[in-house]
Chains A and B, each alone.
Chain A
Amino acid sequence: MTLRNLDRQRMRTLLTAMGVAVGTASIVAFGSIARGLWASTQASLRFNQGDLMVFQRGVSADIFSSLDERETTAALLADPAVERVTPALWQVMPVWPTPFCFIIGLPIEEVQRNADRIVAGRAIDSGNEVVLGAVAAKTLRRVVGEKVQISHRVFTIVGIFETDVVFFNAAIVVPLPSLQEVCKKAGQVTNFQVMLKPGIDPRNAANQLERANAKIVAVAGADQYRKVDQGLEIANSVVGVIGFLSIVIGGVIVMNTMWMSVHERTREIGVLRALGWQSRRIVTMVMIEATGVGLLAWVIGSFGGVGLAMLSARLPIADQFVDPVFDWQPFAWAMAVAVVLSALGGSLPAWRASRISPVEALRYE
C-alpha cells in the first residue's frame, strides 16, 4: 500500500528523491574521495615495506617538513628497533606545461629497489635521469626517452612507474642529490621512511623515536597523519558538514512532500481511521513512505556520487591526488543520512496524519 502511495505520485516522488539525492550523492562522492586519500596515505606509509614515516615536529603541512639528512639518519639508526631508513625530499614546483608538479627526491638505490613498479622503460642509473608516475606522464605529456626540465636542470625520462599511492603516481622521481641541488637544499630532506626490525610494533616504535628525538614526529598509521598534516582531517570534516547540511535540506524537502501527501489524502486517512486503523498504524504508513523516499534518494545518490567521484578523478590537477575508494563506508554514511532525514522529515506529517479526526476528514473535499 505504501509503495502504491509513492507510485501514485511517481514524478513527485522521483523529484523529491532527487532533491535528497543531491545530498547523498555529495556524501558518497566526498566520502569516497576522503577514503581514497586515507587509503593512499596508508599505502604511502607502507610503501617500500616501510613501517612508519618521520617528519619535522611542529610543521603545518607535511610538505614544509625539513630535516638534516645525515644527523637524522644517524639518530634514527641509533634506535635498536630501526633496521633501515630511506630519506626523501618532497617538492612542489612548476614543470611545463603544468603550474605545479609533485617531485620526489629518492636515493638511486631505493628507486632501483622498486624496479618492479616500472611499467615502461627502466629505473634510474645516474643523477641526470628521472622516472615519471603514470599520471604525471599523462599530465606532462611525456614518454620514455624525452626530456623534462625542473628548474634550471634538464633530465632524461628513463621510465614510467605505477603504485597504489595516487600522489606518487602524479610525481616525478628524481635522484635525491640532484633534487637537493636543484632546490638548493643540500643535506636537507622532508622525511624518512623507517623500516623496523621484525616483530617490532610500529606504534610503540614511533612513540620511542619521538621520545628520543625532540625534533621529529613519527607517523605509524593514517590515523596519526594529523601530526604533520590536517588534510585528511579537513576532508573528513567536509564530509561531516555535507552530511549535516544534507540532513537539514533533505529533511525539509521530505517534510514538504510528505506534508503535501498527507494533506491531499486527508479524506483517505479519515476513511482508514473510520475503518478501524489505529493512529500508530497511520504513523507507520507515513513514516514508511518517507523512508521509501529516503531509500530511493540513497540509491539515486549512490549512483550519482560514484559518477561524480569518478569524474573528479579525471579532471586536470584533481587527477594528481583524487583516487576515490568505493568501499562500504561512504554508502553507509549516505544511507544513514537518508534514513535520518526521512525520519525527521516524515515525523511531523505522520503526527499530523495521526491527529486527523475521521468525521472531519470525511467531510473534507
Chain B
Amino acid sequence: MNSTDQCHHGGILARGLVKHYEGGRVKALDELDLDITSGEFVAICGPSGCGKSTLLNMIAAIDRPDAGRIEVGGTDLSLLRGQAVDEFRALAVGMVFQLHNLLPNLSAIENVQVPMMSRCDAHRSSNRDTAAGLLDRVGLGDRLTALPTTLSGGERQRVAIARALANQPRVLLADEPTGALDSKSGDRLFDLLDELRRERRMTLVVVTHDARVAARAERIVSMVDGRITAEPL
C-alpha cells in the first residue's frame, strides 16, 4: 500500500518528524515515523513529556514540525498556509482536549456550534439542529442549554466530543480525554468514542498515559523521548 492510498479519508502518515522547544534545548520529537490506517483506533502511550501531545498537535495542524513531513487524509500539512490551515483544522480533524476547553459563557449547544461558525454559516438554523442531534447522540439531549459550569466532568467531555464531531471530521483526536474522570466515567467515554468511530468510519487517535485505557484501542503506539519504541498488536 503506498502512502497516498494509506492516507485516503482518515489515514495519517508521518516521516522523520522533529520538534524542538526552548530554543532547541528540549527535543519533543526525534525523527518520528508513524503510519495510521484510515478508520483505525490507535492509542499513543508514554510517560509525561515523551512528545505524545506534540505529535497530536501536529496531526491537528495546530503545531508545525521543525523537520519531517506529515500527511492527514492525503493532505501534506507542510504545504498548507494561512486560511488553508484554518480550513483543515475546522473540517478535517476533530479535537477533544484534556480539560474539555469549553467556552464558559456559552451553553452546551452553543459550544457545539462554535466549529460550525468557522464555516461562516453560523446563522443557519440547520447548525442548531445538527448540534442538538450530536448532543443527543452523546446522551446530553436534555442538557442543550446547560452552561459548562453546571455539567459534570464526564458531561463536559461528552459536549467536547460532540463539538469535535460538529463538522464531520475524518479524524478524531483526543488528548488524555479521561484524564480528569474517574475510571467508570472514563470507560463510558471510551465506549462512546469507539462507537462513534465505527458509526462514522473515522480514524481515532487517543493520547493516554493510562495502560488500561490504551488496551481498549486496536493498536498501541508507545513513545519515549520523542521516539516510537514499540507497537504491540
Interface residues of A (CB under 8 A from B): 1, 4-5, 7-8, 267-268, 271-279, 281, 358-359, 362
Top 7 A-B pairs ranked by shortest CB distance?
A276-B90, A276-B89, A276-B118, A358-B62, A4-B105, A271-B101, A8-B105
List residues 131-166 of chain B with CB under 8 A from any CB of chain A: 163
Q: Does B101 lie within 8 Å of A362, measured CB to CB?
A: yes
* A271 contacts across to B, CB distance below 8 A: 97, 101, 103
Q: Does A275 lie within 8 Å of B97, measured CB to CB?
A: no
Contact residue range for chain B? 20 to 34
A281 to B115, CA, bound (A): 12
List residues 32-72 of chain B with CB under 8 A from any CB of chain A: 57, 60, 62-63
Report the minimal beta-carbon distance from B117 to chain A, rounded to whole angstroms: 7
Q: Specify the main secondary structure of chain A where it touches its partner.
A: helix
**What's the count of A-B pairs with C-beta under 8 Å?**
59
Q: Does A7 lie within 8 Å of B105, measured CB to CB?
A: yes
* Binary contact track B95-129/A, C-beta < 8 Å → 1, others 0: 10100010111100010001101100000000000
A281 to B95, CA, bound (A): 20
Q: Does A276 lie within 8 Å of B91, measured CB to CB?
A: yes
A358 to B90, CA, bound (A): 13
Contact of A359 among B57, B83, B118 (CB under 8 A): B57
Q: Does B103 lie within 8 Å of A268, measured CB to CB?
A: yes
Q: Does A276 lie within 8 Å of B97, measured CB to CB?
A: no
Report the minimal beta-carbon distance from B88 to chain A, rounded to whole angstroms: 8
Can you list 19 A-B contacts with CB-CB less than 8 angstroms, sorted by A residue number? A1-B103, A1-B110, A5-B105, A8-B104, A8-B105, A268-B101, A273-B86, A274-B89, A274-B95, A275-B114, A275-B115, A275-B163, A276-B90, A276-B91, A277-B114, A277-B118, A278-B86, A362-B62, A362-B97
A67 to B37, CA, bound (A): 101
Instruction: Beyond A1-B103, A276-B89, list 15 extra A-B contacts (CB 8 Å).
Output: A8-B104, A8-B105, A267-B101, A271-B103, A273-B62, A274-B60, A274-B95, A275-B95, A276-B87, A276-B115, A277-B86, A279-B86, A359-B57, A362-B97, A362-B101
Q: Does B105 lie within 8 Å of A274, measured CB to CB?
A: no
A8 to B148, CA, bound (A): 14
A359 to B118, CA, bound (A): 18
A271 to B117, CA, bound (A): 13
Contact of A275 among B57, B106, B118 (CB under 8 A): B118
List residues 70-97 of chain B with CB under 8 A from any CB of chain A: 83, 86-91, 95, 97
Q: Does B106 lie within 8 Å of A277, measured CB to CB?
A: no
* B62 contacts across to A, CB distance below 8 A: 273-274, 358-359, 362
Q: Does A359 lie within 8 Å of B103, measured CB to CB?
A: no
A70 to B83, CA, bound (A): 82
Q: Does A278 lie within 8 Å of B103, measured CB to CB?
A: no
* A279 contacts across to B, CB distance below 8 A: 86
A7 to B106, CA, bound (A): 11
- CB-CB under 8 A for A275 and B63, given A7-B105, A267-B101: no
